[in-house]
Amino acid sequence: MDSERHVYRLKWWVRAGYFLLGILLGGSGLTLVAIAILNRGWASGVDLRSFAAMILCPLLGYVFLSLALRSKVTLEDDRLTVRYAFGEDSARIDKIVGCRVVRSRSGTYWALRLRNGSSITIMRSYAVDDYFRNFIAGLRPLGKKDDELSPLISS
């Protein structure tokens, strides 16, 4: 490993999709809130579906915007850091035991297993270069027998 810092963000089309969904959902929820405030409530009583949409749309919009703006992977010196929409995982590279590809309904991930039994998952929709691919290829491949990764990321 060299001493350079390598930062990888989501591919442009993934970021654009998350950003667009965030703007659409957040905007529609805020529009519902504005309509409810301007109309001073609902004429026929409280409409639970509209109320739920007023709450859920801005929250989902915030999640998608956070995914678009915050998600990144950083390889620096002897450390790997993965920043998600809400939270961050970090590990020293010498603490990584191995890697495998996990396919699920929500996408395809690299699952990196650490010595302490925990794992770090990285979406495969990051715009990576040869340096990152060489880093992943240099890790020991994990198979089905190494399924102690975690029930959360099992395929």
Give the pLDDT confidence of 99-149 residue by residue, as tens digits: 999 998 988 999 999 999 899 999 999 999 999 999 999 999 987 655 544
CATH number at residue 96: 2.40.50
Domain residues for 38?
Answer: 11-70
Can you tell me which residue has the tokens 């998350």?
18
Q: How open is the CA angle 84-27-82, to the nearest 5 degrees?
A: 5
What is the reported pTM?
Answer: 0.77
Contact criterion met (CB below 8 Å) for 80 and 31: no
Q: What is the pLDDT of residues 69-89, one digit of tens each?
A: 999 999 998 899 999 989 999
The radius of gyration of the chain's CA atoms, rounded to the nearest angstrom, is 20
65 and 79 housed in the same domain = no
Candidates 96, 70, 72; CA nearest to 1 is 96
By mean pLDDT, which of 1-5, 23-27, 38-42, 63-67 is the weakest? 38-42
* pLDDT of 152 over the 50 cut: no
The verdict on residue 55 lying in a domain is yes
Per residue in 34-67, pLDDT tens?
777 777 665 666 667 777 778 888 999 999 999 9
Answer whether residue 152 is part of any domain.
Answer: no
Same domain, 80 and 142: yes
56-93 in b/e form (b: 16+ CB < 10 A) is ebbebbbbbbebbeebebebeeeebebbeeeeebebeb
Domain final residue pick, 20, 52, 70: 70
